[in-house]
Structure 1
């Protein structure tokens, strides 16, 4: 659910956040200090996950993720579109050079923002669908969504992966997505990387949560 109370970290680290953000913008001028949602508490309840989110600016969010001390509750709770091709490969985005995660490889998706707040609820289902369209150009009618999410957790992240299935092989899917994002004025993705097994040659460019999910996915499927 959404909680409109401010995040204490932003106040206690105000000067450090400002200094770090100025350095980030100097290196990557396209960065925008918009509002995002940071999970301030969350836990599993059986097959459900219940979380509480508060809004903060991107500078505060980024500083906490890079420099903040994990407190067991405050985490980036975000949704990803786990794209699976008809021939069993995973398709991941390669982040563009103008983004804060330039060159990193992971599923399309991202940190929720205020557009994902519906009433007092944070709609991760809607977030993953929006991010999928924005990043890849795929329309919702071109894919099939599995029910529910798969969850990968660490001390600062809850990655909610929605399995999204494509009715075409990986190479054709990559060609289609690359054609779609070539029409975008400033695409977030620079490329689409096809992953056909856990021993992927570019695994060192995946964040730990993505590598862990990839290893688990292919291990489950032999």
Structure 2
């Protein structure tokens, strides 16, 4: 297995292009059948429009890529079938919530979601709401996901000026540290209070990571690689 590679950048150049996806076209019937099965398991998932990407380039502190529009059913099949189109990747933003005492705060996805049981930072595959003047606004996507999942608004945290882009298989996670001026326990309690007021929250639990021994198999490799690097650089 290829180890994750982390690129630190200060600029994102993510252009949306109207290009077809041959995988989605040629496997349409299989994709629709697969999604119908998934809908039986999790009725709340819906076949909205999402953005995937091609042609990743890291150069001189900048990450560039070409994004294209597809449906969630095609994305889900591509993911579940082991990423058969190797030229495509899922490039998404993550807000790494970090408390004043150094603890990272992660959420566990609820059983009704497509990633049930997985534990990671607030994030989501970009969609059409994240497009601004023909480019993907990852910072805006992160802000929206953080607000939806935790109730934290941009006034509640200080965003790092850089992004750590973790390349791990068919995923590139653009992770930005969001510093919050409260302890890890207080931050977890605040998020839990927000979840308690929601009818069906995306998160089922909130986890604190203070050391590498707190990392678990439920956390994706791009998340654990990022946290391991952060802890090693601060020690």
Pairing 1:78–2:92 present: yes
RMSD value over aligned CA atoms? 1.2
Specify the alignment match of 1:203 in structure 2.
Answer: 216
Deviation at 1:120, TM superposition (A): 0.9
Specify the alignment match of 1:57 in structure 2.
Answer: 71
Pairing 1:69–2:88 present: no
Deviation at 1:212, TM superposition (A): 1.5
Deviation at 1:70, TM superposition (A): 4.7
Deviation at 1:191, TM superposition (A): 1.4
Matches of 2:233 and 2:131, distance apart in 1: 34
Matches of 1:70 and 1:47, distance apart in 2: 27
Q: Can you give the 5+ residue segments of structure 1 that lack an aligned partner in the other structure?
A: none
Q: Which moved more, 1:93-102 or 1:19-28?
A: 19-28
Matches of 2:33 and 2:230, distance apart in 1: 40
Kept in 2: contact 1:39–1:53 (CA 8 A): yes
Specify the alignment match of 1:218 in structure 2.
Answer: 231
TM-score (norm. length: structure 2): 0.90
Specify the alignment match of 1:107 in structure 2.
Answer: 121
TM-score (norm. length: structure 1): 0.95
Q: Can you give the 5+ residue segments of structure 2 that lack an aligned partner in the other structure?
A: 1-14
2:131 to 105, 117, 122: 117
Number of aligned positions between the proteins: 220
Matches of 2:58 and 2:35, distance apart in 1: 33
Kept in 2: contact 1:28–1:99 (CA 8 A): yes
User: Once superposed, which parts of structure 1, at least 4 consecutive aligned residues long, lie more than 6 Å away?
Assistant: none
Pairing 1:170–2:159 present: no
Matches of 1:74 and 1:35, distance apart in 2: 16
Kept in 1: contact 2:168–2:221 (CA 8 A): no
1:87-107 deviation digits (Å, cap 9, x = unpaired): 001000110110011111000
